Amino acid sequence: MAKQYRILSAAAAAIALTFGTAYAATTDAPPAPPPGGPAMMGGHGGHRMEMRMQKQLDELHGQLKLNADQEKLWQTALTTMKQNHQAMRESHKQMHDQFKSMESQPILDLNAMHAAHQKIEAQNAQLREQTATAWLNFYNGLNDQQKTTVSTALKKHFAKMQEHEHKMHERWSKHRGGPDGAPGAAAGASATAKP
């Protein structure tokens, strides 16, 4: 039962992702960086991803040839997604600012930091669920031909994600040094060897 729920949740998330949750939060808003850490997603990389996602949404929208009722559901989902994306960004900024203000304290209040993080995660989970529900409502209003178009877009998106994940794994393996005697593995072996 739990496995089925995870599969259904993953499918719902994938639909929302394809329709733009990546735009809404880069597939969930990243946790606020630790004090002194790199900035939150945004800047040029985040903007490029948002532009790419918007282009994909525009292309899909054009292919679907929506009727008036479907168009209302599309606009509702799009608006929900964008508003929730903005709310998540703002909550992460607040958390980042709170952590930044704690930097000067000699003893960190880890309980307060954890509570703030948990509160924001709960809020963001609700926002992600609202976004997914809005897109699922839209999807459920489509006819079979339109669902086929969406399914094709999803499969294409999944393939790109899988390819990206594979490339990242390869890069990580090269960086860390694989079991085949890559430089990282040799360096680790020489560091542990005693003369």
Per-residue model confidence (pLDDT) at position 52: 84
Any idea where the domains of the chain sit in the sequence? 66-142
79 vs 102, residue with greater confidence:
79
| For residue 97, pLDDT beyond 80 | yes
| 101 confidence band (pLDDT: 50, 70, 90) | confident
Distances (CA, A) of 105 to 34, 35, 101, 126: 15, 12, 8, 32
Label each residue of 120-154 as H, E or C. HHHHHHHHHHHHHHHHHHHHHCCCHHHHHHHHHHH
pLDDT tens digits, 3-48: 544 444 455 455 554 555 444 433 343 333 333 333 334 455 667 8
Average the pLDDT over 165-189 and give the result: 68
Q: If DSSP codes are grouped into helix, strand and coil, which group holds residue 1?
A: coil
| For residue 93, pLDDT beyond 90 | yes
